[in-house]
Amino acid sequence: MQVTDFCYKMKTKIDIESWNRKDHFRFFSQFEEPFFGVTVQLDCTKAYQDAKAGDRSFFLYYLYRALKAANETEPFCYRIIDKEVFRFDTVNASPTINRGNGTFGFSYMDYNKNEDLFYRNAREVIQTIQQSEGLVPAVSGENVIHFSAVPWLNFTSLSHARSFTFPDSCPKISFGKITVQNGQRTMPVSIHVHHALMDGYHVGLFVEKYQALMNGE
């Protein structure tokens, strides 16, 4: 059965009793820190070339493909709400936007299957955040992925500041510095997800899909 929340975001309730992850969900839901994370090196050679050839922001180019890969990897659309599991039809982006003065602000960007429309909306959001002050918290709800860019660091691992008293099951994806070696461009990508909703296998599916999209496949 589908239900609609106050923002008209369609979601379907998962029957936990018949779910093949029932035991995993109940086990990891009890953890004080139920998130686990991995960092992978993404080959962005072709993606970088294609973005520049199309006169597009590389940040928005790889952000869009990460969001598309997440929407096509079902567990990334799961959220825990009042101890129940729901699958959202669409998940959107809540990325941090860096400003020229060294601060950043939170933002909200709707996913759109039309890539050009996504860029158009995203550019407007970025301009608003960069011209504002403070964090500007986005009212985004549960069906988002928290994105952040750390383009100054070629990190091999990354952790997140979290309030453990605040219920949160949204994936967190961070992008690092692009490095060039022998003509190949790579970028570290950190992925943190709720273990009650998915395992390393599912993160692997996401990474495989994301890399394929960055390769233009």
pTM greater than 0.85 (yes/no): yes
Q: Candidates 3.40.225.10, 3.40.50.20, 3.30.559.10, 3.30.479.10; correct CATH number of 2-214?
A: 3.30.559.10
Q: Which residues contact 171 (CB under 8 A, 6 or more apart)?
A: 70, 76, 145, 146, 191, 192, 193, 194
At 160, list the tokens: 């997140």
Question: Three-state DSSP class for 212?
Answer: helix
φ and ψ at residue 46, rounded to 5 degrees:
-70, -40
Strands 184-194 and 35-43: antiparallel
The pLDDT of residue 3 is above 70 = no
For range 47-56, the mean pLDDT: 96
Catalytic residue from among 160, 192, 195, 202: 195
Residue 184 vs residues 54, 56, 66, 113: alpha-carbon distances, Å? 19, 20, 20, 29
The pLDDT of residue 54 is above 70 = yes
For the chain, how far is it from start to end, CA to CA, in angstroms?
Answer: 34
Contact 105, 135 (CB under 8 A): yes
Q: Is 195 a catalytic residue?
A: yes
What per-residue confidence (pLDDT) applies to 4?
Answer: 37
Q: Where are the domains of the chain?
A: 2-214
What per-residue confidence (pLDDT) applies to 162?
Answer: 86
CA distance 89 to 12: 8
What SS3 string covers 119-188? HHHHHHHHHHHHCCCCCCCCCCCCCEEEEEECCCCCCCCCCCCCCCCCCCCCCEEEECCCEEECCEEEEE
Q: Is residue 101 very low, low, confident or very high in pLDDT (cuts 50, 70, 90)?
A: very high
Contact 46, 61 (CB under 8 A): no
Strands 104-106 and 144-149: unpaired
Contacts 24+ apart (CB under 8 A), 32-36: 32/164, 33/162, 33/164, 34/194, 34/195, 34/196, 35/160, 35/162, 35/172, 35/192, 35/193, 35/194, 35/195, 36/192, 36/193, 36/195, 36/200
The pLDDT of residue 149 is above 80 = yes
What per-residue confidence (pLDDT) applies to 189?
Answer: 98
The pLDDT of residue 49 is above 90 = yes
What per-residue confidence (pLDDT) applies to 142?
Answer: 83
pLDDT tens-digit readout, 161-215: 988 888 899 999 999 999 999 999 999 999 999 999 999 999 999 999 999 999 9
